[in-house]
Structure 1
Amino acid sequence: MTDRMRLAEDRAMRDAARALVDADLARIKAGLAERSVPARAMDRAAEGAVDVLEQVTEAASRNKGLLAALTGAAAIWLARHPLLALLDDTDTPPSDTQDDAHEQPPQKR
Structure 2
Amino acid sequence: MKPHKARMEEDRALRDAARALVMDDIDHLKGDVEEKGIVARIASSALLGATDIFEEGKELAEKHKPASYGIGAVIAAVVGWWALGGGRSDKSDDEDYAWDEID
TM-score by length of 1: 0.60
Aligned partner of 1:71: which letter? Answer: G
Q: Does 1:50 align with 2:51?
A: yes
Post-superposition, which runs of at least 4 consecutive aligned residues in structure 1 deviate over 4 A?
A: none
Aligned partner of 1:72: which letter? Answer: A
Give the match for residue 20 of structure 2. 19
Structure 1: give runs of 5+ residues left out of the alignment: 83-109
Identity of aligned residues (%): 35
Distance 2:34 2:74 in 1: 52
Distance 1:6 1:63 in 2: 64
Distance 1:69 1:28 in 2: 49
Give the match for residue 37 of structure 1. 38
How far residue 43 of structure 1 moved from its aligned partner, in angstroms, is: 0.4
Structure 2: give runs of 5+ residues left out of the alignment: 88-103
How far residue 63 of structure 1 moved from its aligned partner, in angstroms, is: 2.2
1:1-109 to structure 2, matched below 5 A, reads 2=2, 3-74=4-75, 75=77, 79=81
How far residue 68 of structure 1 moved from its aligned partner, in angstroms, is: 2.1
How far residue 49 of structure 1 moved from its aligned partner, in angstroms, is: 0.7
The structure-2 alpha-carbon separation of the partners of 1:71 and 1:13, relative to structure 1 and needing over 3 Å to count, comes to closer
Distance 2:5 2:73 in 1: 82
TM-score by length of 2: 0.62
Q: CA RMSD in A?
A: 2.5
How far residue 8 of structure 1 moved from its aligned partner, in angstroms, is: 1.9
Aligned residues: 81
Distance 2:53 2:37 in 1: 25
